[in-house]
Amino acid sequence: MNYYGNELSRLIEELSLLPGIGQKTAQRLAFHIIDLPEENVTRLSDAIVRAKKNIRWCRECFTLTDSEVCPICADSRRDHKTIMVVEDSRDLAAYERTGKYNGVYHVLHGAISPMLGIGPNDIRLKELMTRLRQDVDEVIIATNNSLEGETTAMYISKLIKPTGIKCTRIASGVPVGGDLEYIDEVTLLRALDGRTEL
């Protein structure tokens, strides 16, 4: 039943389509947006539109950025000889929050999952192998500790072994089935420090 009229109901419906936002949260957000001064609402909508138009993949690591190369890849103080491979940009952000990792990243945009029809060609593995032609000392595989993450880690390690580049896997401080973006910084740091060679 439509309690609020078409415009507010449509706003609630659109907000409820966002991940993790149920009907009640969407309603709370809609009421909050309506109560904001118009200039705040305009800033919010402008930020959404600008982000959608201007955000793209970094040409080096494939994380989200608004420039050709992300700030991490552009930073000459980072160790470009160490590459941490993660499933998505949220995992990259989780490791950046620890403040202890000084290498660069490679974002796969997924993990190998035969059950879901996702194979090695559906994620950014080819681009990773191209990067490894440069001067790289170590690849740290930091995929999630799930069946798909483990499958991806083993596949990557088999690709890297013939190159002679050191290939390590984060330690199991990360619980099985846990997504990296929800793990606390201390656990992530322990997993990074306790990584093992594959």
Do 20 and 79 fall within a single domain? no
CATH number at residue 49: 1.10.8.420
Do 88 and 140 fall within a single domain? yes
pTM: 0.77
Distance CA 71, CA 23 (A): 37
Is 1 among the domain residues? no
Do 77 and 174 fall within a single domain? yes
Distance CA 104, CA 82 (A): 6
pLDDT for 2:
64
Is 59 among the domain residues? no
Is 106 among the domain residues? yes
Q: Using 50 as the pLDDT threshold, list the residues of the chain that sit under it.
A: none
Do 34 and 100 fall within a single domain? no
115 C-beta neighbours (distance < 10 Å), count: 7
Confirm if 19 and 34 have CB atoms less than 8 A apart: no
Do 175 and 92 fall within a single domain? yes
Do 48 and 112 fall within a single domain? no
Do 173 and 101 fall within a single domain? yes
Is 35 among the domain residues? yes
Do 45 and 129 fall within a single domain? no
What is the domain range of residue 46?
6-54
In 3D space, the residue among 141, 133, 171 whose CA is nearest the CA of residue 158 turns out to be 141
Do 39 and 71 fall within a single domain? no
pLDDT for 196:
67
Confirm if 106 and 164 have CB atoms less than 8 A apart: no
Do 105 and 183 fall within a single domain? yes
CATH number at residue 150: 3.40.1360.10
Torsion from C-alpha of 183, 141, 108, 120, nearest 10 degrees: -130
Query: Residue 190: exposed, middle, or buried by beta-carbon count in 10 A (0-12, 13-18, 19+)?
Result: middle
In 3D space, the residue among 142, 118, 131, 158 whose CA is nearest the CA of residue 190 turns out to be 142
Domain count, the chain: 2
